[in-house]
């Protein structure tokens, strides 16, 4: 006879699997429906719903990196692979994100591939316009408005440099990615009779912006490693949108923890978590949104960069 602990563990695994497949099927079904009937919707509603679903798909890609919804990496890859946001090739995102988790210098540009800080030697070579763009990008308003363009530019530039330096395997990854993007746009045009410009405007742009909204204050520099990742409790809407990645400190503390358990772990150990992360905490995303008009232009140099 199985003991109670074993029974609870089994129930937890079953519940997690159900939530995984609900998230997967729900996301793709919602995307197909929005594509199919998007031309009949008011453009503002399509902008909100399309952005939400595209961002949610990005969250699915994130949990796939960490081992969901199945125990098979190849299957998770195929489930998460379709580039609904026409952005990161999934294999490159996976590689980069895992480095981000296990690097020794979180937020430091020379170690952390997800750091947006710019080395001083590079900053000193930028012209006035480029500096303005990067400074604006470091404000919340800038991250939401021009963030998709800046991050895509940085991605392409970084990938080109890696390919130019000899990493030829990336060529095949990008060719497959471009074919997949063409497939997504063909499906959008064929099934939804939606112009490409509308898909870019109402799905891709707001989807990436919502992702950047989450990551805007996700990390900060601190001499203590434990104080570099945030906790945002959020609402049911944002918890679903980010699949609990808003409880970011808990996720970094145990990257392999199933996404559906992260919020529960935080609530059970709330005081301990907030003590460890230096109370780097927001109750909800409305508190972050209030920074929209307050954040000033700053030099995007890491606090530890020499003056």
Q: Are 258 and 76 in contact (CB under 8 A)?
A: no
Q: What crossing angle do the helices spanning 169-192 and 147-164 adopt, rounded to 10°?
A: 140
Residue 307: the pLDDT is 62
Residue 13: the pLDDT is 64
Positive or negative torsion for Cα 184, 186, 189, 192: negative
Q: Are 100 and 114 in contact (CB under 8 A)?
A: yes
Q: Between the CA atoms of 19, 22, 25 and 31, what dihedral angle is there, to the nearest 10 degrees?
A: -100
Residue 8: the pLDDT is 38
Which of 238, 235, 217, 233 shows the shortest CA–CA distance to 290? 217
Q: What crossing angle do the helices spanning 4-37 and 43-65 adopt, rounded to 10°?
A: 140
Q: Are 51 and 203 in contact (CB under 8 A)?
A: yes
Task: Give the position of tokens 């919020």.
Answer: 263
Residue 98: the pLDDT is 97
Residue 293: the pLDDT is 86
Which of 282, 266, 278 shows the shortest CA–CA distance to 218? 282
The bridge status of strand 281-282 relative to strand 231-232 is: parallel
- C-alpha 208/C-alpha 220 separation (Å) is 21
Where b means 16+ CB within 10 Å and e means fewer, 198-228 reads bbebbbbbbbbbbbbbbbbbbbeebeeeebb
- C-alpha 252/C-alpha 265 separation (Å) is 13
Across the chain, which has 307 residues, the per-10-residue mean pLDDT values are: 38 78 97 96 98 98 96 96 97 97 92 93 94 96 97 94 93 97 96 93 98 96 95 97 98 95 95 97 96 88 84
- C-alpha 213/C-alpha 61 separation (Å) is 17
- List, for residues 33-90, the tens digit of each pLDDT value: 999 999 999 999 999 999 999 999 999 999 999 999 999 999 999 999 999 999 999 9
Cβ contacts of 22 within 8 Å, gap of 6 or more: none
3-state secondary structure at position 232: strand
């Amino acid at each position: 006879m199985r003991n109670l602990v074993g029974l609870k563990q089994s129930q937890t695994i079953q519940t997690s699997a159900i939530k995984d497949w609900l998230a997967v099927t729900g996301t793709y079904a919602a995307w197909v429906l929005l594509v199919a009937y998007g031309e009949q919707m008011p453009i503002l509603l399509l902008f909100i719903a399309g952005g939400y679903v595209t961002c949610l798909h990005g969250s699915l890609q994130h949990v796939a990196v960490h081992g969901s919804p199945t125990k098979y990496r190849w299957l998770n890859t195929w489930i998460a692979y379709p580039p609904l946001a026409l952005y990161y090739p999934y294999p490159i995102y996976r590689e980069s994100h895992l480095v981000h988790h296990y690097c020794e210098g979180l937020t430091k540009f020379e170690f952390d591939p997800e750091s947006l800080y710019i080395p001083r030697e590079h900053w000193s070579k930028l012209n006035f316009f480029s500096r303005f763009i990067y400074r604006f990008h470091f404000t919340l308003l800038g991250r939401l408005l021009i963030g998709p363009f800046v991050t895509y530019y940085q991605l392409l530039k970084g990938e080109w440099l890696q390919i130019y330096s000899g990493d030829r395997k990336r060529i095949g990854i990008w060719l497959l990615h471009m074919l997949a993007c063409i497939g997504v746009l063909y499906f959008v045009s064929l099934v939804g009779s939606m112009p490409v410009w509308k898909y870019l405007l109402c799905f891709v742009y707001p989807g990436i912006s919502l992702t950047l909204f989450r990551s805007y204050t996700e990390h900060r520099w601190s001499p203590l490693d434990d104080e570099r990742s945030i906790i945002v409790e959020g609402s049911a809407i944002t918890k679903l949108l980010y699949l609990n990645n808003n409880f970011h400190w808990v996720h970094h503390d145990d990257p392999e923890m199933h996404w559906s358990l992260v919020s529960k772990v935080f609530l059970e150990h709330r005081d301990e978590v907030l003590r460890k992360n230096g109370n780097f905490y927001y109750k909800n995303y409305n508190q972050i949104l209030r920074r929209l008009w307050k954040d000033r232009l700053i030099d995007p140099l890491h606090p530890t960069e020499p003056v």
